[in-house]
Amino acid sequence: MNRVGVVGGGQMGAGIAEVCARAGIDTIVCEADATAVRRARDRVTASLDKAVGRGRCTAEEARLAVARLTFTGELHDLADRDLVIEAIVENTEAKTELFAALDKIVENPAAVLATNTSSIPVMRLGMATERADRVVGLHFFNPVPVLPLVEVVASLHTSSDTAALVERFAASTLGKTVVRSPDRAGFVVNALLIPYILSAIRMTESGFATPADVDHGMELGCAHPMGPLRLADLIGLDTVASIAASLYEEFKEPLHAPPPLLQRMVEAGLLGRKTGRGFHVYEQDATANHPS
């Protein structure tokens, strides 16, 4: 897998593109329009600048990574890719349409189409293509350049060769730690994490505790590096709500149902760090994620 395409240059897509470029891979990032392309480029370069400033890579390594990156607004530029990773908005219809389009555009029949979805069944996306055996979940965690974990998710149609190939790519090429998950809503991590976050939201919604007290309690009392509400803000409250809805649709467990407060905040556009306000208030970053 020497040529990788990433569709979506938001917080996750930009991070995926960065780790691929830093691993020596020719990487194309595809976004919806010229404005989104510019934001994606700015997001990656800002992240690389931070990595240099914090000693995680050298200035020369960052320069070489930028040289390996191409940004485009045309899906057809991904025609020669060996692997295309989808990292667009967490919406089943949008992802399904994209996979159907990529299936026709990516020329190599052995190329792998991967999704970074947090909750949508991989099989549903694979069935939109003529190569369901080459469709797999490749779920990274935010921030991608820092967090070492990747979930590899094989659907009932994904071939064992495809799953093994993607696992080797994530582990050997990108240097990530891989856990395998069955193709069910939430996979491994979010199936554990989201009910915890929703419980914290319900505690706040009921007036039992403030967001600050909830987060301080888990950070200082349980040694968590980040409290559940700050973590929800980092993930994006729209993404949390979407994952919760997928979990509830699949399992029908009350603990998975999105609380009314979460739904109202999403409707109000209070999505967390990327909008400057969620359960906490943040200084806006010019390279912050935009829905894409």
Q: How confident is the model at residue 109 (pLDDT cuts 50, 70, 90)?
A: very high
Respond yes or no: is residue 118 known to be catalytic: yes
Catalytic residue of the set 31, 86, 151, 167: 151
Respond yes or no: is residue 199 known to be catalytic: no
- Residue 256 contacts residue 194 (beta carbons within 8 Å): yes
Extract the tokens encoding 125.
């996306």
Q: What is the pLDDT of residues 21-71, one digit of tens each?
A: 999 999 999 999 999 999 999 999 999 999 999 999 999 999 999 999 999
Predicted local confidence at residue 83, as pLDDT: 98
Q: What is the pLDDT of residues 237-269, one digit of tens each?
A: 999 999 999 999 999 999 999 999 999 999 999
Catalytic residue of the set 119, 190, 246, 292: 190
Is the domain covering 191-275 a CATH 3.55.50.30 domain?
no
Q: How confident is the model at residue 90 (pLDDT cuts 50, 70, 90)?
A: confident
Return the higher-pLDDT residue of 118 and 221: 221
Predicted local confidence at residue 285, as pLDDT: 56
Q: What is the CATH number of domain 3-182?
A: 3.40.50.720
Indicate where the chain has its CATH 1.10.1040.10 domain(s): 191-275
Q: Mean of the pLDDT values across residues 89-103? A: 95
Q: What is the pLDDT of residues 226-238, one digit of tens each?
A: 999 999 999 999 9
Mean pLDDT of the chain: 95
Respond yes or no: is residue 289 known to be catalytic: no
Respond yes or no: is residue 74 known to be catalytic: no
Percent of the chain at pLDDT above 90?
Answer: 93
Percent of the chain at pLDDT above 70?
Answer: 97
Predicted local confidence at residue 240, as pLDDT: 95
Catalytic residue of the set 139, 167, 246, 256: 139
Taking the C-alpha atoms of residue 97 and residue 94, their distance in angstroms, rounded to an integer, is 5
Catalytic residue of the set 47, 116, 118, 242: 118
Indicate where the chain has its CATH 3.40.50.720 domain(s): 3-182
User: Helix/strand/coil (H, E, C) string of 60-98?
Assistant: HHHHHHHHCEEEECCHHHHCCCCEEEECCCCCHHHHHHH
Question: For residue 161, which of 134, 141, 127 has the smallest C-alpha distance?
Answer: 134
Predicted local confidence at residue 273, as pLDDT: 94
